[in-house]
């Protein structure tokens, strides 16, 4: 059995943790909004690659590991279905969410000029988020159409099963770029209806 190169294993883990970190910032920007250094880092691809940040996912502590931008690009292209471009979009989305959360700490008062301005910013942010979600879902739909044709044209049941499995992984990865509740696919055997109440705050 061929031993996995420790450097490859380390960089793969670092990439996955960074992706998880960006997702966490996107989902819960209020938990990070006082971190001025983080906002500064997310404005630059190289600084994001060099990010060294402790964060929590549920109760589990995690830490991002710094790497060079070239290394990050190489591994993102190899590992992520959406490549480095998808990772960069996630970085921008996390930064947008963080900056928007920081602005929302100022109370929105509709009776004042400043309050109306803040309200407009909030609505513009929600609109931009919806537009990004639609773009990701459109990308997922295009991928699904290609994969359906590929599965249809498979020369054997074995190849067909393999292509179907890879297609499901790719669609899940692409969808995960969205903010909740649009960040994961619901298995066909689940009849759960997603409640949107917690996202309407």
Question: How far apart (Å, rounded) are the C-alpha atoms in residues 109 and 193?
Answer: 34
pLDDT in tens, 145-177: 888 988 898 898 888 889 888 888 888 888 877
Q: What is the mean pLDDT of the chain?
A: 81
Question: Beta partners for 60?
Answer: 57
Proportion of the chain in helix, strand, coil states, percent, rounded to 5: 65, 5, 30
Cis amide prior to 181 (ω within 30 degrees): yes
The better pLDDT of the pair 147, 4 is held by 147
Question: How far apart (Å, rounded) are the C-alpha atoms in residues 31 and 34?
Answer: 8
Question: Beta partners for 169?
Answer: none
pLDDT reported for residue 194: 47
Residue 82 contacts residue 173 (beta carbons within 8 Å): yes
Question: What pTM was computed for the model?
Answer: 0.57
Question: How far apart (Å, rounded) are the C-alpha atoms in residues 23 and 17?
Answer: 10
Query: pLDDT above 90 covers what percent of the chain?
Result: 29
């Amino acid at each position: 059995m061929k031993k996995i190169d420790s450097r490859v294993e380390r960089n793969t883990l670092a990439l996955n943790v960074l992706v998880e970190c960006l997702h966490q910032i996107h989902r819960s920007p209020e938990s990070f909004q006082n971190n001025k250094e983080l906002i500064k880092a997310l404005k630059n691809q190289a600084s994001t690659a060099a990010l060294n940040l402790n964060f929590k996912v549920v109760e589990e502590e995690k830490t991002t590991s710094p790497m060079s931008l070239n290394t990050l690009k190489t591994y993102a292209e190899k590992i992520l279905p959406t490549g480095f471009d998808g990772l960069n979009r996630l970085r921008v989305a996390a930064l947008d969410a963080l900056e928007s959360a920081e602005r929302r700490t100022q109370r929105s008062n509709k009776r004042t000029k400043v309050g109306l301005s803040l309200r407009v910013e909030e609505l513009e942010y929600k609109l931009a988020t919806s537009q990004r979600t639609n773009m990701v879902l459109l990308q997922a739909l295009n991928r699904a159409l290609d994969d359906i044709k590929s599965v249809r044209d498979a020369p054997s049941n074995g190849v067909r099963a393999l292509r179907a499995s890879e297609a499901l992984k790719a669609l899940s990865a692409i969808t995960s770029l969205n903010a909740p509740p649009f960040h994961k696919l619901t298995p066909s055997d689940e009849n759960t209806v997603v409640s949107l109440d917690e996202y309407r705050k």
